[in-house]
Structure 1
Amino acid sequence: MTRAVDLAFAFAVAVFFWWLLLLIWAVVRLESKGPGIFAQERVGRNGHPFTCYKFRTMKAGTAHLGTHEVSASSVTRLGQILRKLKLDELPQIINIFRNEISLIGPRPCLPVQTQLVEARRRLGVLTLKPGISGLAQVNGIDMSDPEKLAQWDARYKALQSLLLDLKIIIATALGSGNGDRVAK
């Protein structure tokens, strides 16, 4: 995805959907204790850490683990809806403005997910800017299988094109894939 497309998307969300961002933030704050925006360190391009922003979908005090390692009971009722509609990702426009992520690319992982970080390093995936959505995600691959995820990320790197990115955007908007699932 080109930087211009990333910025156009982030700008459009900020200008046309500021009211939705504010509404979601307020409802998250009202539903449960804790901040409306969740900030967490993630692994970025070339392995450099950055702070990733999302609407908080889990109860305050939930361990900072991969989503697939956290109990489903940790997700708030509103959080379930936000995740299903992928609205929890909207604050990542901040990361797009800061040039830390792209709209499409490998999903940024936690530094503690060392198996995934090393697999991505080995396959050259860390040279890519992370994305809000990616090829692996629209194909139902999540972070519970680090090697498989890294292989799909490497496939994206090999096939990367504006047309593929547009297909991923459409698939994401239509709800393809599972996103990051939580443990049952």
Structure 2
Amino acid sequence: MKLDTASVASHLVPSSSVTKLDELPQLWNVFKGEMRNVLDVRPGITGLAQVNEIDMSTLELLAETDAKMICQMSEKKYFMFILQTITGKGSGDRVIN
């Protein structure tokens, strides 16, 4: 983060304050094998965490929720997440711009 950035979680700062160096801890998690099953799932536009308003401020809960969604994923459930998102349930990751 830039030097004058407030000492808060990255999702609470303007996106212009975040640098590529802020992503290095995640790279370490990849090397340690802590991001299992993530690449086994096709990316989507919404999910269980998003419709339940779980964001980056609760990383462990976010990871647990994503893991739960991955284990229980079906086309029917994903379609339900899309419908819930369209109808305004949840807001997911928030980044201040």
TM-score by length of 2: 0.63
Cα–Cα, structure 1 residues 136 and 165, in superposed 2: closer, same or farther, change >3 Å? Answer: same
Give the alignment partner of residue 171 of structure 1, picking from 84, 87, 94. 84
Give the alignment partner of residue 148 of structure 1, picking from 58, 61, 65. 61
Amino acid at match of 2:82: I
Cα–Cα, structure 1 residues 69 and 113, in superposed 2: closer, same or farther, change >3 Å? Answer: farther
Unaligned stretches of 5+ in structure 1? Answer: 1-64, 75-110
Partner of 1:70: 13
C-alpha distance in 2, partners of 1:143/1:150?
A: 9
Q: Identity across aligned pairs (percent)?
A: 40
* Displacement after TM superposition at 1:138 (Å): 0.6
C-alpha distance in 2, partners of 1:113/1:145?
A: 19
Partner of 1:44: none
Unaligned stretches of 5+ in structure 2? Answer: 1-8, 17-21
* Displacement after TM superposition at 1:144 (Å): 1.7
Which digits, 9 at most, give the CA deviation of each residue in 1:117-154, with x for residues without a partner? 838x5362322232221111111101122211111110
Where 1:171 maps in the other structure, the secondary structure is helix
Give the alignment partner of residue 125 of structure 1, picking from 23, 37, 45. 37
Instruction: Assess if the C-alpha contact under 8 Å between 1:123 and 1:154 holds in 2.
Output: no
Amino acid at match of 2:29: E
Q: How many residues align?
A: 80
C-alpha distance in 2, partners of 1:113/1:143?
A: 16
* Displacement after TM superposition at 1:178 (Å): 1.9
Higher strand proportion, which one?
A: 1
C-alpha distance in 2, partners of 1:165/1:131?
A: 9
Equivalence map 1:14-33=2 (5 Å): none
Give the alignment partner of residue 112 of structure 1, picking from 23, 36, 46. 23
